[in-house]
Structure 1
């Protein structure tokens, strides 16, 4: 019983020591403006007007336009308004690869396969932004 009381007393004193240390630290904000003012952030990178070449064989193409407001979820995929095989011609947009219309077993479908429904898993908007980390990647010899 005495051992239990001793352990409890040590735990309480350790908790109080940590609490007093935490309250003594000054909290600093990462914001550059006061909390009650709007924090304005400038756009750093813009979409490029020309299309980027691919860096390796079978690289998914980059998207040359903004998709910020596009709905892509279980109910809708706004990319298909222009890029589905049934609408691409009249919209003057590239058609999806036929691989997007194959199910897991390789059967041809008339609609985009569920495994290819979420376009932004593979395709991202192109931006001429600096690399976030140094790398030694070299494009394939046959790429643009």
Structure 2
């Protein structure tokens, strides 16, 4: 008797679960933030808009935005092509902004002659400019100080 009740209960649970899946699919489906199907490519302009001067920052200590494409830049454990222009030894000759001194300090605050390992991967903080659509609404207001 117990086995029969268990079998009926599990069959009922399976039927209700299946009916729930069918109902969810018929109710309009899942919509993405991209307003496109999951298998479609989200097209973003391939051109990068480099404005004159630097982009204004919205808050203190905000990492600057990269005003050029970094698609072909190699940044891995051995190579960082950003440093070919932005390292303090060559930035003046290249007309590129120099990295701040914080990039040449270790975790204990000691000055280094080379970029610290904790600052090696530039694109973990700095992102290139792109005219990409916003995925969600944003009501952020920049600081006045």
TM surpasses 0.5: yes
> Structure 1: which 5+ runs fail to align?
none
Counterpart position of 2:101: 98
Counterpart position of 1:138: 142
1:53-110 CA-partner distances (Å, limit 9, x unpaired): 2233332211101123333333332222221223323333211111101001111112
The alignment partner of 1:115 has SS state of helix
Deviation for aligned residue 1:128: 5.2
Seen in structure 2, the aligned counterparts of structure 1 residues 77 and 52 have a Cα distance that, compared at 3 Å, is same
1:1-144 matches, cutoff 5 A: 2-19=1-18, 22=21, 25=25, 31=37, 42-44=43-45, 46-50=47-51, 51-127=54-130, 132-141=136-145
Deviation for aligned residue 1:17: 4.4
1:1-33 CA-partner distances (Å, limit 9, x unpaired): x434422431133224433664685698954xx
Size of the alignment, in residue pairs?
A: 135
1:41 & 1:134 partners in 2: Cα distance?
20
Seen in structure 2, the aligned counterparts of structure 1 residues 55 and 16 have a Cα distance that, compared at 3 Å, is closer
Q: Answer with 79-88 or 69-78: which moved more.
A: 69-78
Cα RMSD over matched residues?
3.4
> Structure 2: which 5+ runs fail to align?
31-35
